[in-house]
Amino acid sequence: MVVLAASIISKSGKALVSRQFVDMSRIRIEGYLAAFPKLVGIGKQHTYVETENVRYVYQPIESLYLLLVTNKQSNILDDLDTLRLLSRLVPEYSYSLDEEGIGKSAFEILFAFDEVISLGHKENITVAQVKQYCEMESHEEKLHKLVLQSKINETKNVMQQKASEIDKSKIEKSRGEKGGFMSLQSMGSGRIDTGFGSETSISSSGGGGFGSGSGPVFEAESFSSKSKGRPTAPASAPPKGLGMQLGKTQKTNQFLESLKAEGEVIVEDVRSSIGHSKAAALPPSDPVTLTVEEKLNVTLKQDGGIGNFDLQGTLSLQILNQDDGFIQVQIETSGNPGILFKTHPNINKELFSGENILGLKDPNRPFPTGQAGDGISLLKWRMQSADESLVPLSINCWPSVSGNETYVNLEYEASSAFDLQNVVISIPLPALREAPRVQQIDGEWRYDSRKSILEWSMVLIDNSNRSGSMEFVIPAVDTSELFPVSVRFTSTSTFSNLKVANILPIRGGIPPKFSQRTSLSTENYQVV
Residue with the bigger pLDDT between 229 and 30: it is 30
Residues forming beta bridges with residue 49, ordered by sequence position = 56
- At residue 250, does pLDDT exceed 60? no
Tell me the pLDDT tens digit for each residue of 131-179: 887 777 677 777 888 888 889 988 988 998 888 889 888 888 877 655 5
Which percentage of the chain shows pLDDT scores above 70? 78
Q: What one-character-per-residue DSSP string does 465-510 give?
A: -SEEEEEEEEES--GGGG-PEEEEEEES--SS--EEEEEEETT-SP
Residue 484: phi, psi to the nearest 5? Answer: -80, 145
pLDDT of residue 420: 95
Other CB atoms within 10 Å distance of the CB of residue 443: 17
Residue with the bigger pLDDT between 285 and 216: it is 285
Residue with the bigger pLDDT between 201 and 45: it is 45
Band (pLDDT 50/70/90 cuts) for residue 244 is: very low
Flag whether the pTM goes above 0.85. Answer: no
To the nearest 10°, the Cα dihedral for 214, 218, 219, 224?
-90
Tell me the pLDDT tens digit for each residue of 395-450: 999 999 988 899 999 999 999 999 999 999 999 999 888 899 999 999 999 999 88
Tell me the pLDDT tens digit for each residue of 44-73: 656 888 888 889 999 888 888 898 999 888
The type of residue at 37 is P
420: nearest Cα among 467, 469, 484 = 467
Q: For residue 106, what are the CA distances in angstroms to 16, 52, 90?
A: 8, 31, 10
Cβ-proximal residues to 356 (8 Å cutoff; 6+ apart), any chain: 330, 331, 332, 333, 501
Strands (E), 11-129: 15-20, 48-50, 54-61, 64-71, 117-118, 121-122
Strands (E), 320-419: 327-332, 340-343, 357-358, 376-384, 393-402, 405-414
CA atoms of 146 and 481, how far apart (whole Å): 36
- At residue 263, does pLDDT exceed 80? no
Which percentage of the chain shows pLDDT scores above 90? 33
The type of residue at 201 is S
